[in-house]
């Protein structure tokens, strides 16, 4: 019942009018059904009067007009219900998707990246408000109709028939509930494999992956993976389908036998009692309606089992613990933010070992720092912890300015970041830059100034130019996207600037330009650059050398070169990259 109450409350708050129309028309179908049955009886009785010289034309006219009115009312309610259902489905699609997206945005990044949570999210998306409403309203209206039909049968003396049908109904309800649970368990179990299937489909149609797939002739291999997943799921579904249809076939046989017995009883009993043709027609329709409503009631009842399970998945996802991020105003520090890390440890939920361990350091306000080391050494994970995107497994991060420690609960407000996998928004240039400070979206002069600082003057003339060939827009190179990302960073004032290896895909000249821009971008504020290319590190105040999740060396370029440790070894290995620049060791 909780899922029904939830659906009604949500529809009441977001689409009250159509909910009321839907409920009203659903309930009106019950009196319309019985009115049609009884008026039909009297129409037949009046017509029968022509053979008995008791025909009354006026009564016949009134009854036929009334019957037409009832049939018309039934058609109108059916149409109104169909329209309201369509409108409610639109609301359903938006509300469920919106609530799931809002919940996802409130989760910690660690949870969002967790495969188990991703599967939970996919399960939650299977819940349907309109499906739940249809099943509950169908169950209630069909139950009332069935009770009414049983009452009619008992009034006319068919007690045993009513009892037999009721017993069969209860047995079929129990069986249908069991079948529905089995089918839903199968669907739940396939959620993870469907995610993999969808991922492979995306690979096969994405313009970037298609190039590599064709070069390495991977299509056959990937399509075979798809085939295996598809047919494995199909076999599981087919087993449940065969079971379901076998049971349905058995139920249909029982229903057909009951229908035949019911009609036979009508003929025998009514014939013996000398009832009118109208009574027979009415009871014949009652029995027919019984076997129309009967499977509909069973379907609604068994569907509620699946709906309840889906609502449980949906509720479980919405009840996940959220990350508390205060919406505090940004307080810019004139000389940047200082960062103090005390015994930081971090472990991903799916990993057995710590990703970061024993991290201790102090970064002074206004200083520039480079995080260096091999890929996978923990640099980017630490950046995400500094930004508050990850919470430490243990240990704390504190903040300071030139006057001492300060309390900052939402460091993202104080920061501008250019990630390696920065967003390439397939929207106009204006929006791509303005997401750095969305309040500036209509401030052309501020947007153009940010683009100029990012060495992206060529975009200034066409702020409304659409980007992305997927939607018929401009196709940009890696360097052009890079400059747009830097432009959005320039648009946001901050106390901390972070450059997280966003130049990995650029050519050397473009990369050098990007690093020069970074130096200007982080001027007079705290700045962190994450890189495994070391020629930039000569220009920062301090270098942190990472290895296996630990800071194994720290100091200036000169100090670390003199120490002859890991940093010096890596720098020597890359020395050929710097020879043309006459780098001095």
Percent of the chain beyond pLDDT 70?
A: 84
Give 106's pLDDT tier (boundaries 50, 70, 90).
confident
In angstroms, the CA 63 to CA 506 distance is: 85
User: Is residue 81 a contact partner of residue 22, using CB atoms and an 8 Å limit?
Assistant: yes
The reply to whether the predicted model has a pTM over 0.75 is no
Q: What is the CATH number of domain 338-423+494-581?
A: 3.40.50.300
359: phi then psi, degrees, rounded to nearest 5: -90, 115
Q: What is the largest CA-CA distance in the chain?
A: 124
User: Is residue 489 a contact partner of residue 437, using CB atoms and an 8 Å limit?
Assistant: no
Q: What is the CB-side half-sphere exposure of residue 291 using CA atoms within 13 A? A: 18
Identify the weakest region by mean pLDDT among 11-15, 405-409, 555-559.
405-409
Q: Is residue 584 predicted with pLDDT exceeding 70?
A: no
Q: Is residue 553 predicted with pLDDT exceeding 90?
A: yes
Mean pLDDT of the 17-23 span:
92
Identify the weakest region by mean pLDDT among 254-258, 292-296, 298-302.
254-258
Radius of gyration of the chain from Cα atoms? 36
DSSP label at 584? -
For residue 583, the model assigns a pLDDT of 45
DSSP 189-214: HTHHHHHHHHHHHHHHH-HHHHHHHH
In angstroms, the CA 551 to CA 358 distance is: 8
For residue 582, the model assigns a pLDDT of 45
First to last CA, the chain: 74
Of 510, 39, 472, the closest CA to residue 485 belongs to 510
For residue 557, the model assigns a pLDDT of 92
Q: Is residue 332 predicted with pLDDT exceeding 70?
A: no
For residue 578, the model assigns a pLDDT of 54
For residue 171, the model assigns a pLDDT of 73
In angstroms, the CA 395 to CA 9 distance is: 43
**Strand ranges across the sheet with 338-346:** 356-363, 338-346, 394-401, 404-406
Mean pLDDT of the 482-507 span:
79
Mean pLDDT of the 78-84 span:
90
Give 195's pLDDT tier (boundaries 50, 70, 90).
confident
Mean pLDDT of the 480-499 span:
85
Delimit the domains of the chain by residue range: 2-191+242-318, 338-423+494-581
Q: Is residue 42 predicted with pLDDT exceeding 50?
A: yes
Three-state DSSP class for 582? Answer: coil
Listed in sequence order, the DSSP H helices in 362-477 are 379-386, 429-434, 444-453
361: phi then psi, degrees, rounded to nearest 5: -165, 165
Mean pLDDT of the 216-233 span:
80
For residue 146, the model assigns a pLDDT of 85
> Going by DSSP bridges, is the β-strand pair 496-500/415-418 parallel, antiparallel, or unpaired?
parallel
Q: Is residue 501 predicted with pLDDT exceeding 80?
A: no
User: Is residue 207 a contact partner of residue 469, using CB atoms and an 8 Å limit?
Assistant: yes
pLDDT digits (tens, 9 = 90+) for 383-441: 988 988 888 899 999 888 776 677 766 787 778 888 888 888 888 888 889 888 888 89
Q: Is residue 369 predicted with pLDDT exceeding 90?
A: yes
Mean pLDDT of the 543-570 span:
92
Give 585's pLDDT tier (boundaries 50, 70, 90).
very low
Q: Which residues contact 360 (CB under 8 A, 6 or more apart)?
A: 341, 342, 343, 344, 551
In angstroms, the CA 399 to CA 364 distance is: 10
- Classified by CATH at the fold level, domain 2-191+242-318 comes out as ABC transporter transmembrane region fold (1.20.1560)
Q: Is residue 352 predicted with pLDDT exceeding 60?
A: yes
In angstroms, the CA 294 to CA 169 distance is: 7
User: Is residue 531 a contact partner of residue 506, using CB atoms and an 8 Å limit?
Assistant: no
**Strand ranges across the sheet with 526-530:** 415-418, 496-500, 526-530, 368-373, 542-547, 550-555
Question: Which residue in the block uniquely carries the two structure tokens 């747009």?
Answer: 484
In angstroms, the CA 498 to CA 416 distance is: 6
For residue 216, the model assigns a pLDDT of 66
| 263 beta partners | none
Of these ranges, 113-122, 244-253, 292-301, the one predicted with the greatest mean pLDDT is 113-122
In angstroms, the CA 418 to CA 248 distance is: 59
Question: Which residue in the block uniquely carries the two structure tokens 């994450």?
Answer: 530
pLDDT digits (tens, 9 = 90+) for 251-290: 677 777 777 777 777 666 666 666 667 677 777 777 777 7
In angstroms, the CA 477 to CA 116 distance is: 36
Of 418, 355, 423, the closest CA to residue 391 belongs to 355
Of these ranges, 211-220, 249-258, 448-457, the one predicted with the greatest mean pLDDT is 448-457
User: Is residue 449 a contact partner of residue 435, using CB atoms and an 8 Å limit?
Assistant: no
Q: Is residue 331 predicted with pLDDT exceeding 70?
A: no
């Amino acid at each position: 019942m909780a899922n029904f109450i939830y659906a009604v409350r949500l529809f009441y708050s977001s689409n009250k009018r159509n909910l009321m129309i839907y409920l009203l028309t659903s309930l009106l179908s019950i009196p319309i059904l019985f009115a049609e049955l009884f008026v039909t009886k009297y129409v037949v009785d009046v017509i029968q009067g022509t053979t008995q010289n008791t025909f009354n034309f006026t009564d016949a006219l009134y009854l036929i007009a009334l019957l037409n009115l009832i049939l018309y009312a039934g058609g109108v309610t059916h149409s109104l219900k169909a329209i309201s259902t369509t409108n409610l489905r639109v609301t359903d699609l938006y509300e469920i998707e919106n609530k799931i997206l809002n919940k996802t945005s409130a989760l910690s990044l660690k949870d969002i990246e967790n495969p188990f949570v991703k599967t939970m999210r996919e399960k939650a998306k299977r819940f349907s408000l309109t499906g739940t409403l249809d099943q509950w309203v169908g169950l209630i209206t069909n139950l009332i109709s069935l009770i009414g039909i049983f009452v009619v049968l008992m009034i006319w003396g068919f007690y045993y028939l009513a009892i037999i049908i009721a017993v069969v109904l209860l047995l079929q309800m129990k069986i249908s509930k069991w079948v529905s649970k089995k089918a839903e368990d199968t669907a739940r179990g396939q959620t993870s494999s469907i995610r993999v299937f969808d991922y492979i489909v995306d690979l096969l149609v994405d313009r970037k992956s298609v190039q590599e797939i064709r070069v390495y002739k991977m299509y056959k291999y990937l399509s075979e993976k798809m085939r295996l997943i598809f047919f494995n799921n199909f076999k599981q579904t087919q087993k449940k389908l065969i079971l379901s249809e076998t049971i349905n076939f058995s139920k249909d046989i029982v229903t057909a036998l009951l229908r035949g017995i019911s009609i036979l009883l009508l003929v025998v009993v009514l014939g013996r009692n000398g009832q009118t043709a109208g009574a027979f027609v009415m009871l014949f329709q009652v029995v027919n309606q019984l076997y129309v409503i009967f499977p509909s009631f069973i379907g609604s009842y068994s569907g509620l089992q699946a709906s309840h399970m889906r609502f449980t998945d949906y509720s479980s996802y919405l009840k996940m613990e959220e990350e508390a991020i205060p919406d505090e105003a940004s307080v810019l520090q004139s000389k940047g933010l200082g960062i103090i890390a005390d015994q930081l440890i971090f472990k991903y939920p799916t990993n057995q070992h710590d990703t970061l361990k024993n991290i201790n350091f102090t970064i002074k306000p206004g200083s520039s720092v480079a995080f260096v080391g091999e890929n996978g050494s923990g640099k980017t994970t630490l950046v995400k912890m500094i930004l508050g995107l990850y919470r430490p497994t243990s240990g704390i991060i504190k903040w300071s300015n030139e006057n001492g420690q300060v309390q900052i609960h939402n460091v993202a407000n104080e920061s501008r970041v250019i990630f390696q996998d920065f967003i390439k928004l397939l929207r106009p240039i204006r929006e791509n830059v303005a997401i750095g400070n969305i309040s500036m979206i209509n401030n052309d002069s501020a947007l153009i100034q940010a683009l100029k600082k990012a060495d992206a003057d060529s975009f200034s003339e066409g702020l409304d130019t659409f980007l992305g060939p997927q939607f018929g827009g401009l196709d940009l190179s890696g360097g052009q996207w890079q400059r747009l990302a830097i432009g959005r960073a320039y648009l946001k004032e901050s106390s901390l600037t972070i450059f997280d290896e966003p130049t990995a895909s650029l050519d050397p000249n473009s990369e050098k330009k990007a690093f020069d821009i970074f130096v200007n971008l982080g001027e007079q504020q705290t700045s962190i650059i994450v890189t495994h290319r070391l020629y930039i590190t000569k220009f920062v105040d301090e270098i942190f050398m990472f290895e296996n999740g630990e800071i194994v060396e720290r100091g200036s370029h000169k100090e670390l070169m003199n120490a002859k440790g890991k940093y010096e070894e890596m720098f020597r290995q890359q020395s050929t990259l710097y020879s043309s620049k006459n780098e001095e060791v």
